[in-house]
Amino acid sequence: MADDPYKTLGIARDATEAQIRKAYLKLAKTTHPDLNPGDAKAEERFKAVNAANDLLSDAEQRGRYDRGEIDGSGQVRPPPGPPPGQRSYRTHAEGAAGTRYSAGGMDDNDLGDILSGLFGARGRAGAPRGGADRRYSLAVTFLDAIRGATQRLVLPDGGSLDVRIPPGLEDGQVLRLRGKGAPGDPAGDALIEVAVGPHPVFRREGRDIHLDLPVSVSEAVLGGRVQVPTVDGPVSMAVPAGSETGTRLRLRGRGVPAAGGQPAGDGYATLRIVLGPPDPALADFLRDRADAPAWDPRAGLEGVA
Amino acid sequence: MITIDMLVVTVAGLDRADVEHWIAQDLVRPAGQGGAWLFGDIDVARLRLIQELRHELRLEEDALPVVLRLMDQLYDARRQLRRLRDAVDQGATPEVRDGVLRVLLER
């Protein structure tokens, strides 16, 4: 280490003590061996910088060097680094014990993000680099959910997604649109939770559609064909003579349409007998009628409470 | 493994309060619990390094976590590289080894 200590520190021969100190700190920070593991040049440089500083920061030594009495290796202090017999931090950190101070909490079995991609291997730390999924909710009308439709979803960021609603969609179902979530490789998915609204007439039970069907007294007593609304348009249905309120009539295949391997559901009309506007002739007939059969509509209610 | 009492007499110039502060900051992670810390060789070496960074190299206390964290990442990366080197050394067939070497040296 017989180099010129002024050159080592990169300072002029008439540098002040403060300049020497400043130059030393700057170089020592960038060449410290524990901050430059595996770089033998940095380690040599660190030693030289320290030796140069030791010499030049000592006024007497510096004077002797300037007068040519000693060469650049005239150091008096012990060399920098750990005490004899002790290993530097670097040797510990490079070994198995170094995992204690791992920045990412990795243990020795983690492959990290780069190595986990080696040969297509998937390490434990190999989190997918793809975009995140994004969640949205979408309100769908009862009939659109039954029949299927395409609905535009306006996103919070102003964009929009065209969501294809499959026939027979149920309330609370989640639709996944691949690649429509956050960007990435691959892009994330959009997860759309569907809220299906109620309908004033139809009720859904599984794949069947129910409705209450009002019928007049004469339709109930005499029977006849009536028009019944279904989810795919009105159909004609025969009401048997003598039908009671609560009679349930089936409309085969008029429920949720067949989709996704599931057969179509059925429609069910539950009859509700309604009197309609006042009918004086009917009132007269019932009042004047002499031979009405005697029966008690409340016979089943006796002793209930 | 040594206790904090042993530590402050072993490492010259090390201040007990500083050590406790660095532990609280998660910059040093000895085994054991508060008050009954046990310092392994790596912890002692790390404390020597921190001391050197703070006092010899005049690093500000605020800069310490940043420097140590970057340093820890560097050592993580180096341990990973070593693992890869060892894995290729042990696991690769001669053809794979030659292939890898050829690609590395081409660059």
Q: What ranges do the domains of chain A cover?
A: 1-94, 134-196, 203-288
Together in a domain, B65 and B107: yes
Q: Which CATH number fits domain A134-196: 2.40.110.10, 2.40.400.10, 2.60.260.20, 3.30.465.10?
A: 2.60.260.20
Provide the CATH topology of domain A1-94.
Answer: Helix Hairpins (1.10.287)
Buried b (16+ CB within 10 A) or exposed e, A202-224: bebeebbbbbebebbeebbeeee
Measure B84 CA to nearest chain A CA, in Å.
8
Together in a domain, B4 and B53: yes
Together in a domain, B46 and B98: no
The reply to whether A134-196 and A203-288 are identical in fold is yes
d(CA A20, CA A3): 16
In angstroms, how far is CA A51 from the centroid of its own chain? 58
**pLDDT for A280:** 94
Residue of chain A whose Cα is closest to the Cα of B43? A89
CB-CB under 8 Å, B84 with A102? no
Together in a domain, B53 and B87: no
Number of domains in chain B: 2
Measure A97 CA to nearest chain B CA, in Å.
7
Query: Which CATH number do you get for residue B41?
Result: 1.10.1660.10
Among B40, B48, B72, the residue with its CB nearest the CB of A102 is B72
Q: Could you tell me the residue range of the domain that residue B52 belongs to?
A: 1-59
Together in a domain, B72 and B89: yes
Together in a domain, B2 and B47: yes
Q: Is the distance from CB of B23 to CB of B14 less than 8 angstroms?
A: no
Residue of chain B whose Cα is closest to the Cα of A105? B76
pLDDT, one tens digit per residue, over B15-74 is 999 999 999 888 999 988 877 889 988 999 999 999 989 988 889 999 999 999 999 989
d(CA A303, CA A283): 32
Together in a domain, B12 and B43: yes
User: What CATH class does A203-288 carry?
Assistant: mainly beta
Chain B residues touching A106 at Cβ < 8 A: 76
Interface test with A, best of B37, B79, B82, B93 (most A CBs within 10 A): B79
Among B29, B41, B67, the residue with its CB nearest the CB of A101 is B29
pTM exceeds cut of 0.80: no
Which amino acid, B41? D
Together in a domain, B105 and B70: yes
Among A87, A89, A106, the residue with its CB nearest the CB of B76 is A106
Q: For residue A120, give every residue at least 6 positions away whose Cβ sits within 8 Å of its Cβ, in sequence order, or none.
A: none
For chain A, 305 residues long, give each residue's pLDDT as a single digit of tens: 457 889 999 999 888 999 999 999 999 988 998 888 888 888 889 989 998 998 898 888 888 888 877 877 765 555 566 666 677 888 888 877 788 888 765 555 666 667 766 665 544 444 456 788 888 889 999 999 999 999 898 887 788 889 999 888 888 888 888 888 888 778 888 888 888 999 999 999 989 999 999 999 999 999 999 999 999 899 999 999 999 999 999 999 999 998 877 889 999 999 999 999 999 999 999 999 888 888 888 888 887 77
Together in a domain, B17 and B29: yes
How many C-beta neighbours within 10 Å does residue A118 have? 14
Among A88, A100, A103, the residue with its CB nearest the CB of B73 is A103
ipTM over 0.90: no
Residue of chain A whose Cα is closest to the Cα of B79? A94
Together in a domain, B85 and B107: yes
